[in-house]
Amino acid sequence: MKPWSSILPALFFSIFTFISCYKIETEKNSLPQGYSVSQIIGTWKIIGVTSDKSYDWDGNGSTEKDIYNTWNDCKKDNLYQFRVNYSGSYKLDCTSSKEGTWYLGGTTMLVWGPVGASLEYEKIFYMTTDTMKTQSEVMNPDGQTYTIIKVWKLQ
């Protein structure tokens, strides 16, 4: 019985030493983690819209990248409500509100649109508890593709 009592502590010491020295390496995940539906649900307001290239967004003869500043106050008075049941209510300006649908495609693509209109596809690339940034591509009559960034604020 004596030999086991002296070997047992040495065995436990060896096992614990080996375990404590074992290094676990975790690979860095370069893929975006994405977003969940619960982060989208709520009422949002667009507070900024920019383009990666200048274009005459308001048709006044001068080019600009800041699309939001070309909007009149009525167009800036917008609200987008994304509901739990994937329906939505979109106040597009002072006088126009429309019902519609929305969903989260994969974990990064916000797809939404009023009934009877084509769907908007916007990639979410930034989100906090009260701010969301989306990116979409548009082709204008000049044939160039523009990247549009929208900044949304949770109301």
What pLDDT, in 10s, does the model give residues 30-81? 445 789 999 999 999 999 999 999 999 999 999 999 999 999 999 999 999 9
Under the banding of pLDDT at 50, 70 and 90, the label for residue 18 is low
Under the banding of pLDDT at 50, 70 and 90, the label for residue 15 is low
Strand locations in the chain (E): 42-55, 64-66, 79-82, 87-91, 97-105, 109-114, 120-127, 131-139, 145-154
Q: Could you tell me if residue 20 is inside a domain?
A: no
CATH of residue 118's domain is: 2.40.128.540
Cβ(48)–Cβ(68) under 8 Å? yes
Q: Could you tell me if residue 99 is inside a domain?
A: yes
pLDDT (mean) for 144-154 = 98
- The mean pLDDT value of the chain amounts to 87
Plot region of 31 (φ>0 → left; ψ -120 to 50 → alpha; else → beta)? beta
- How many structural domains compose the chain? 1
Q: Could you tell me if residue 103 is inside a domain?
A: yes
Q: What is the pTM for the complete model shown?
A: 0.77
- Give the least confident one: 13-17, 50-54, 56-60, 111-115: 13-17
Residue 142 belongs to domain spanning: 37-154
pLDDT of residue 4 exceeding 90, the answer is no
Q: Could you tell me if residue 56 is inside a domain?
A: yes
Q: Could you tell me if residue 29 is inside a domain?
A: no
Cα–Cα distances in angstroms (integers) from residue 48 to residues 34, 118, 134, 151, in the given order = 22, 22, 11, 5
Q: Could you tell me if residue 90 is inside a domain?
A: yes
Q: Could you tell me if residue 2 is inside a domain?
A: no
pLDDT of residue 153 exceeding 60, the answer is yes
Under the banding of pLDDT at 50, 70 and 90, the label for residue 26 is very low
Q: Could you tell me if residue 28 is inside a domain?
A: no
